[in-house]
Chains A and B, each alone.
Chain A
Amino acid sequence: MVETMSGIPLDPTYGDGLQPGEYPYTRGLYPTGYRSKLWTMRMFAGFGTATDTNARFHALLRAGGTGLSTAFDMPTLMGRDSDHEWSVGEVGRAGVAVDTLADMEDLFAGIELDKVTTSMTINGPAAICMAMYIAVAEKSGVGRVHLGGTIQNDILKEYQAQKEYIFPPRPSVRLVTDLIRFTTAEMPRWHPVSISGYHIREAGSTAAQELAFTLANGFAYVEAAIAAGLKVDDFAPRLSFFFNAHSDFFEEIGKFRAARRIWASWMKDRYGATNPKSQMCRFHTQTAGVSLTAQQPENNIARVAVQALSAVLGGTQSLHTDSYDEALALPTEKAARIALRTQQIVAHETGAASVVDPLGGSHFVEWMTDEMERQANEIFDHIDQIGRGSMLEGVYTGIDDGYFVGEIADAAYRFEREVNAGRRIIVGVNEFTENDDDEANLLSIGHATEEMQIKRLDQIRGDRNDDAVRASLAALVEAAGQPDINLMPSIIDAVQTYATEGEIVAALESVFGTYVETAMV
């Protein structure tokens, strides 16, 4: 029996009318909420060489974690090798460096890949990373069918917000749908796309824009997968989402509730999904990195706690809490531990997990949920219109004509002007600024990583069979030229020859081309 701190027994849910677990899931996906399963506390990690991050993974697993979440460095995210001229200064800095299958082998050495679930945050080269992960697992005797986890693989928001694109949108979406088709057929435990609003919000959007752009991208992938020949109920149960938890508490909760309602009704009514799992908007949440201040950094612990609570009251399935020092650098171990402890306090001390959708029925929260939906609907109407009845085409058009980046930049500038004019208070930044002289101890990553990584890459290039590499890349180019062929098998073949990520990307670029954004303010 669940009771309050003072011994008052609690039902799993309160109120008449729509219940949690009932379509359209505004009040939550499951009738008993966190009583049956607490959210997953999935903390993102990655730095230096694969061996460095592997040690952090083992430490996390020893501490009781069951899920890993991998951050890659910028060259890896951009599909370039560590010895690319632009990689200088970036190798292993903002995440782990992965050039070849050998690095992926080091990254997951000693980890039972059929026991843990792994999240890989990568988009442009997602198919290549996925292929490497499969190859590592199968080399260690774990078949792909047993692999569980998530790959972000959400390329559309890259053009809109995060800007880690490689190829133009249409061939990139082909790679996304190839991966969806592949995992649907061969990897039933895998989530092939995590449709992400997080980066849209970080780039400056409003809450409603985050909600609407993200769900619109989701609709676009659904349309692309259906066009590629899949049935909606075959793949939609494996789609998942990733939202931001920012500081405006009730607005965020309204956003999460609206997300579930909108996704359910569109999947049912517009795309004909009949499996309830296809209609359920499952999401991961991360607290808002952009809200963290470099000034008086310890104050960020309080911000993160409030944001985490909004995600929990909004019904998130998993949560990453940011570390207080992230406005300054990658987190230290201590800062990351405090961030995890913050989640544990919300989970075990506050009672927030006792009752499902505890704010459901609040006049204000219900109004805010409706308002988020209303604003999102206006945006869907626009995208549908510019796509002439197709959300996929609407998203492509909005990328081409600068709609998304323009809307996001407008919102970011509006916010900045409000802060600057003092109409919006950020504690420690434009108000309450005294005693702003605390210095946080920061994690620093030296140049040794870059030298070691490049040396390792040279060694792999020297040891491998170059003829096999060339043959696999030629086969990949051939397959890429035929839109109906699923590229995953060719990419798996290529990574197994220790072709580098950069070489595989270059092969695909020779067919797909390279995306260059039109610079606009």
Chain B
Amino acid sequence: MSETLGISPLSADDQEPLRVVLAKLGFDGHDRGLKVVARTLRDAGMEVIYLGLRQTTDSIVAACEQEDADVIGLSMHNAGHLTLAPRMVQAVEEAGLGVPVVIGGIVPAEDVTVLIEAGVAAVLGPGASTEEVVAAVRAAVAHQSPAR
């Protein structure tokens, strides 16, 4: 399937497929986008650990540890991103995981800067293409790697 996207499943300096934990935090039940992203990343050759709905920062951190994840993808459609995304970043830091957090969903432009300053690796808005999603995930891991 990855050939159809024209993207190699493996990043240049890493022969293991990237392991991505995907989840929704709290009440937000809009999972259409996250499911599409899950299939997109899987088709691009990544290992997707799909936690689904009603996760907490603790359950996501635990899944990252158990699954040795390279990156966390969170989907947010309820305007709670300014509160929830920094909490996720903080929970990852406190657990000493060094795993980047990528946000997708409805995030107004002015909030994107705030989230990046809070330590979010990338924010993908509505209409992001498959290539943009895959590239953002890969870039987030690449930027994080030297610090690990």
Contact = CB atoms under 8 A, between A and B. Distances in A.
A pairs with B: yes
Interface in A75-119: 75, 77-78, 80, 86-90, 93-94
Given A93-B80, A203-B32, A293 B126 contact: yes
A329 B108 CA distance: 7
18 contacts: A75-B27, A78-B27, A89-B80, A93-B78, A164-B29, A293-B127, A327-B126, A328-B108, A412-B36, A426-B127, A430-B129, A439-B109, A442-B108, A517-B52, A517-B53, A519-B52, A521-B42, A521-B48
Contacts of B125: 294
B82 A89 contact: yes
A74 B50 contact: no
B53 to A, nearest CB: 6
A474 to B, nearest CB: 28
A461 interface: no
10 closest cross-chain pairs (CB), A and B: A519-B52, A89-B83, A163-B29, A89-B80, A294-B126, A74-B27, A521-B38, A93-B79, A429-B127, A86-B26
A295 interface: yes
B84 interface: yes
Contacts of A451: none
Interface in A438-471: 439, 442, 444-445
Interface in A324-363: 327-330
A163 B50 CA distance: 16
Contacts of B80: 74, 88-90, 93
A202 B77 CA distance: 13
Given A162-B29, A293-B127, A416-B130, 4 more contacts: A77-B27, A89-B83, A203-B32, A412-B36
B31 A420 contact: no
Contact of B36 (A87, A413, A445): A413
Interface centre among B35, B53, B109, B126 (most CB of A within 10 A): B35
A394 B50 CA distance: 27
A204 interface: yes
A327 B129 contact: no
B133 to A, nearest CB: 10
A408 B36 CA distance: 11
Contacts of A80: 27
Nearest to A439: B109
B28 A74 contact: yes
A293 B27 CA distance: 24
A521 B39 contact: yes
Interface of B: 26-32, 35-36, 38-40, 42, 48, 50-54, 56, 78-84, 106, 108-109, 125-127, 129-131
A520 interface: yes
A90 B38 CA distance: 25
Contact of B130 (A420, A444, A445): A420
Contacts, number: 102
Contact of A420 (B26, B42, B51, B129): B129
A33 B129 CA distance: 43
Contacts of A439: 109
Contacts of B26: 74, 86, 89-90
Nearest to A91: B80
B80 to A, nearest CB: 4
Interface centre among A80, A89, A295 (most CB of B within 10 A): A89
Contacts of B53: 163, 517, 519
A409 interface: yes
B72 to A, nearest CB: 15
B45 to A, nearest CB: 15
Interface string A499-521: 00000000000000000110111
A84 B40 CA distance: 34
A89 B84 contact: yes
A430 B126 CA distance: 12
Given A293-B126, A327-B106, A409 B35 contact: yes
Contacts of A75: 27
A519 B24 CA distance: 11
A442 B108 CA distance: 8
Interface string A426-437: 100110000000
Contacts of A442: 108
Contacts of A295: 126-127
A184 B60 CA distance: 46
A259 to B, nearest CB: 23
B129 A163 contact: no
Contacts of B130: 416-417, 420
Nearest to A158: B29
A359 B141 CA distance: 55
Nearest to B40: A416
B106 A328 contact: yes
A233 to B, nearest CB: 35
Given A329-B108, A521-B38, A94 B52 contact: no
A451 to B, nearest CB: 13
A75 B26 CA distance: 10
Nearest to A295: B127
Contact of A88 (B28, B36, B83, B127): B83
Contacts of B40: 416
A413 B108 contact: no
Contacts of A202: 32
A90 B27 contact: yes
B79 A329 contact: yes
A447 to B, nearest CB: 8
Contacts of A94: 78-79
A420 B109 CA distance: 23
A89 B130 CA distance: 29
B38 to A, nearest CB: 4
Contacts of A516: 54
